[in-house]
Amino acid sequence: MSGYPVRVNGETSSSISVTDRGLAYGDGLFETVRVVSGQPTLFDLHMDRLSACACFMGIELSVPQLKAEIADFLVAVNQERGILKVILTRGSGGRGYNPAGCSDSSRILSFHDLPAYKGTPEESGIHLFSCETQLGQSVLAGMKHLNRLENVMARREWGVDSNCLEGLLLDFDGRVIEGTMSNLFFVRDGILKTPNLSRCGVKGVCREYILHSANSWGLKTEVFDYAFSELVGADEVFVCNSVNGVWPVIACGDERWPVGAVTCTVRDKLMEVIDG
């Protein structure tokens, strides 16, 4: 048994079939949701993304059923704070890569502690590691699918004792894309900018929330293709995800940036939502 609560298809279990296509091919999707006061945060955005991606991939998903299972699971877990991980796979069946003939999709829920980091990276900022691993163009661009091997290989590039808490990923054409577990934003000339993710990368829920909310915070946004030189000339840089919120970036290699006013505004506005 695992050391944390797990349910599979609504039942208490920590096992799936060895023929499940999520195991064999990474044929599935997942969401990582911050839980505060026993409730999932940014939940509608997580469910909307999961539903849209499942539809694109042709994976069976009943959102009302999944929401009911999640609500029941969180009541049973009875924890104020933590991380809910939701995994959806195509299930078992099919011949080789052909998914025809699969059985019902599999829904896996697990609950974990929030990650602990030294110091207060949300206040003091972090160093980014410049990864050699590059991201290739994919038909699955923007989606949070189960095959995250590029991110795994990138994360292997720096050790646990490094002063870097996140890595910067570029694509094969040298465009800035994202962090290994986060999305990237930077500020230049008063505009909040984030990379175009139409070729590769993950359109994070936190990123989407910031883009949709920025106007109400008095901020202009831009989504475009950016070379690393654009990042070098930025006034502020930060990364974000739906578990950790916003981390200001103060260094990447020889480059340095301050913890700026826009970053602090976005961080504080976001924390009102994901930290109660």
**Catalytic, out of 31, 89, 122, 144:** 144
Tokens found for residue 75: 């009541």
Cβ atoms 249, 260 nearer than 8 A: no
**Catalytic, out of 31, 150, 178, 236:** 178
Helix (H, G, I), strand (E, B) or coil at 111: strand
Residue 144 designated active-site: yes
Residue 32 designated active-site: yes
Q: What is the CA radius of gyration of the chain?
A: 19
**Catalytic, out of 31, 32, 122, 193:** 32
CA distance 186 to 177: 12
Q: Are strands 220-224 and 191-195 parallel, antiparallel or unpaired?
A: parallel
Residue 178 designated active-site: yes
Look at the alpha carbons of 224, 179, 91, 87 in this order and tell me if their dihedral is positive or negative.
negative
Q: What is the DSSP letter of 92?
A: B
- Per-residue HEC secondary structure of 177-196 comes to EEECCCEEEEEECCEEEEEC
- Nearest Cα to Cα of residue 245 among 272, 215, 220, 223: 272
Amino acid letter for position 37: S
Cite the active site residues.
32, 144, 178
